[in-house]
Chains A and B, each alone.
Chain A
Amino acid sequence: MVRRLARPLLEPALALILSLAVLTGLLAVSGYSVSESLSALWRGAFGSWSVIASGTLVRATPLLFAGLAVAIAFRAGILNIGAEGQLLAGASTATAVAMVVSPTWGMAGLVLALLAGAVAGGLWAGIAALLRLRFGVLEVISTIMLNVVMLHLTGLLVRGPLQEPTGTFPQSALIDAALRLPRLVPGTRLHAGVLLAVLCAIGAAWFLRETAPGFRLRMTGANPRAAASAGGIDVRRVTLAAFIASGAVAGLGGAVEVAGVTYALYENLSPGYGYTAIAVALLARLNPTAAIGSAVVFGALEAGASAMQRDAQVPAGMVGVVEACVILVLLASEWIAGRAGGWATLNRGGTPDGRSPDTGSTSDSPVAAAPR
């Protein structure tokens, strides 16, 4: 019993400790003062209440949204690497809506902008879903390409239709104060978006565990062939819905980032939140509630890395190495634990479902063979 309870915590903890050891080693090899760097990291992440609120939690918010997006998709057996693009789609659209609606709308305008962001993220993911379901294009390839396309589209928007009035800087005008997410703690940057993210996580957990569509989503991810034949589940429909839901959550994250933190659209709005999100989701073992904790861990790491760069001149890129190590150690610990198929949702082994998306014609694949 104790072992059953301990294991879900033990592995992520082990992954983090090993990854921090790697960070320490890297710091030492690169000639930085280890104690100075790590204490800067700690101060930047948890040094004071104000740092926790303005740094760690503010950083954790988009990571939680994007991490949930990844977790929902992975649970459905969809390898959505496109949270980055979906997040930007949400941010761009929310900005556009905020520019159009009258500030007198106040709260209603804010809600509209956030919803528009979620819809845009869902639609952008929908393209990848359509490409997979209708045209048999691997979603890994399509989502990554769509990320690049959206990055350039955002670049286009902030230099064209959405550029600030003077036309000098590649960014949008600031959105009206009435359309911003309220601050939670005066004097910090902590905004109401963090509550929205937590609500999303709890909602996603409830949806996956307690509802019939959530059950169908999990079954589809675990074994689409069995889900279709034994469960009578319309796997294509579930895949489409899960993909769009995943994109919508990421899009909402982008909208929240604009309405709560940046107040304007920038090309480099996201420092790769959509990719870090994969580490967030995996560390949480694709569990939405656990993703809250995991997002805080990575939020702290990113906030701490900024401080480390500022105070100890350590390149912030080192955090990317730590994130990669977390993923690799988790993958390795899965093997060490000797539980083949322990992560049912990640065990796409041998395309057991007969899903070879690129052939698009495999007769025994429910995904490919379902009537159009």
Chain B
Amino acid sequence: MSATAEFLDASVRSATPLLLAALGETVSEKAGVINVGLEGAIIVGCLTGLAAATALGPAGALLAAGAAGVLMAVVFAVVAIGLAADQIITGTAITMLGLGLTGTAYRVLYGEAGAALSAPTLAPIGIPVLQDIPFVGSALFRQPPPTYLAALLVPAVWWWLYRSRSGLSLRATGENPAAARSSGVSPRVVQTQAVLFGGLCGGLAGGTLVLAQVGTFAEGMSAGRGFVAIAIVALGRWNPIGAAMAALLFGMASALQFLFQALDLALPYQLFLALPYVLTLMALAVTRGRYAAPAALGARASTAT
């Protein structure tokens, strides 16, 4: 593979879990709920993916990972929506919970040293003809199934949010819960559904990391992807298509390190590790005002239902 093709391939690879997580978070934030606990859903998805892989096979394990993400979202929903607690603080606790639980469970399940386990992984599926296109062929059309899933989810989520009736209720809830309620929509039900979808996507993102990329688990391997996904949602202006572009951008920034390694530049690798985060912050600063967050984002659920 040429350096360019390899760079594009790495970009798409880094972007896939981020996009999955960001799509779920887009839906959740469109309903007015910011879930900082996404990181917790991802890491729990990672460990569940590994644990279920031998029994269920990689595809079944991916689903199990999604289900585990939903479970984390349930805890978040109970506290942040049911008990109307602060979303950010609840989310932070959920992330700590996920990191703590997986760190503990991993050692309990696989022993003190955490023996290097490898899970069966989902092999890349090449799409005939298209995968042979120079440069972009293998990056776009020779990927493991979760990448295609993420790509298909982009138009699906867009259609759901902007063309379906339930999508309209969801957006209305995120803009003005009181008005949504008076038109017969229950904000709590809608927000809970949106958060559970977000958890599902977060779990799938974690499962993708283990089952389509790394092939094993390490403590804290989610490495802040949940937070990056939240930044991507803002960068993508709360739109699934925007999220896809932002995720790809971040993926490319992460993949730069491979490109520069190929170019043999003597720059410390920590710079490249930090670069995507710096770029994201700068992009967020530059695009301010040109996008709008849902008006009621982060609002505590009204207790007077």
Contacts and interface: CB of A to CB of B under 8 A. Distances in A.
Interface residues of A, number: 58
B104 A81 contact: no
Contacts of B128: none
A348 interface: yes
A282 interface: yes
A236 to B, nearest CB: 15
Contacts of A26: 104
B298 A348 contact: yes
A122 B125 CA distance: 50
B88 A140 contact: yes
A131 B97 contact: no
B267 to A, nearest CB: 10
A46 B262 CA distance: 54
Interface in B239-258: none
Interface string A243-273: 0000000000000000000000000000000
A226 interface: no
A211 interface: no
A323 B96 contact: yes
A146 interface: yes
Nearest to A155: B270
Contact of B285 (A131, A152, A331, A356): A131
Contact of B280 (A145, A324, A346, A351): A145
B271 A156 contact: yes
B273 to A, nearest CB: 5
Interface in B220-277: 224, 227-228, 230-231, 234, 268, 270-271, 273-274, 277
B92 A160 contact: no
Interface string A355-372: 010111100000000000
Interface stretch (B61-69, B78-86, B145-153): B78-86
Contact of B93 (A328, A349, A358): A328
A186 interface: no
Interface in A302-345: 313, 315, 317-325, 327-328, 331-332, 334-335, 340
Contacts of B284: 131, 135, 137, 141-142
B270 A325 contact: no
A360 B271 contact: no
B103 interface: yes
User: Which of B34, B277, B286: most chain A Cβ within 10 A?
Assistant: B277
Given A282-B89, A335-B84, A349-B300, A142 B99 contact: no
A98 B111 CA distance: 42
B122 to A, nearest CB: 28
B88 to A, nearest CB: 5
Nearest to B280: A145
A324 B96 contact: yes
B297 interface: yes
A62 B106 CA distance: 28
A144 B230 CA distance: 10
A321 B101 contact: yes
The residue among B100, B106, B112, B300 with the most chain A CB atoms within 10 A of its own CB is: B100
B79 A153 contact: no
A79 interface: yes
Nearest to A350: B299
B303 interface: yes
A320 B100 contact: yes
Contact of A324 (B84, B100, B234, B281): B100
Contacts of A81: 36, 88, 92
A361 B231 contact: no
A349 to B, nearest CB: 4
Contacts of A153: 270, 274
Nearest to B278: A149
B198 to A, nearest CB: 16
A290 to B, nearest CB: 17
A67 to B, nearest CB: 14
A349 B234 CA distance: 20
B1 to A, nearest CB: 28
Given A26-B104, A317-B104, A320-B103, A347 B271 contact: no
B97 A159 contact: no
A356 B296 CA distance: 8
Contacts of A320: 96-97, 99-101, 103
A321 B98 CA distance: 8
A360 B291 CA distance: 10
Nearest to B291: A358
Contacts of A278: 89, 92
A30 interface: yes
A213 interface: no
Contact of A315 (B84, B107, B273, B291): B107
A331 B277 contact: no
Contacts of A140: 34, 36, 88, 230
Contacts of A207: none
Interface of B: 34, 36, 75, 79, 83-86, 88-90, 92-94, 96-97, 99-108, 112, 219, 224, 227-228, 230-231, 234, 268, 270-271, 273-274, 277-278, 280-281, 284-286, 288-289, 291-293, 295-300, 302-303
Closest 9 CB pairs of A and B: A320-B100, A317-B103, A324-B97, A331-B85, A321-B100, A327-B93, A135-B285, A152-B274, A358-B293
Given A145-B280, A320-B99, 12 more contacts: A79-B88, A131-B284, A136-B288, A138-B234, A156-B274, A317-B103, A317-B107, A324-B93, A335-B83, A340-B303, A348-B298, A351-B297
